[in-house]
Amino acid sequence: LDRQIGLELSYEFLAGKDPNSVSNSDFIIFGEPAKFNEDLLNTRISSGGAGGYLFLGKNYIIGYGIYIPINNQVDWDNKMNNSTNTSELSYEIISNTDVAVMNFSTARKFSENISIGIGLNMLYGKMASKETKISGGIPLYSYELESKGHGFGKEAIAGINWKISDWSKFGAVYRT
């Protein structure tokens, strides 16, 4: 074939226990425990990509692609009574991280065994997290912490592919 298009999607759900890091050390009121009792963290990870290439003559090829190497969400929540059983304490954490990459590249076959290519990646990343804590007792209080951020970047890529034999190849890539 002198051209090809591809698509890949994946989704994972992880539920892990972490009894050591779910502490109540950010903002503690007298009578609150130092650690929460729920230690199950739920994580959802999805990724995917689409791309293709096109031969331009015998020795040149151009390619494009867009892929999402990181797209995950972590959520955790817990409700429990304080040490004197006079109030309920609830706490929730939600965190999202996303990275998307768009790639344009070209390569040239210099001999039967050596090909060299260059490319440009356009990167976009964003993150957001939200933390909420509510106490229904005395003192009655709540707090919420929210953070967001995003950014753009670019990355140049150069690579070489050496065909050692019909069953063996060696490649190297330099990324800025």
Q: Smallest Cα–Cα separation from 93: which of 135, 139, 128? A: 128
* Integer Cα distance of 34 and 31 in angstroms: 9
According to the model, what pLDDT value does residue 24 have? 60
Residue 138 · residue 89 · CB < 8 Å: no
Both structure tokens of 22: 């779910």
pLDDT in tens, 7-61: 777 777 776 666 655 556 555 666 666 666 666 667 778 888 888 888 888 888 8
pLDDT in tens, 60-116: 888 989 888 777 887 777 777 666 655 666 777 788 888 889 999 999 999 989 999
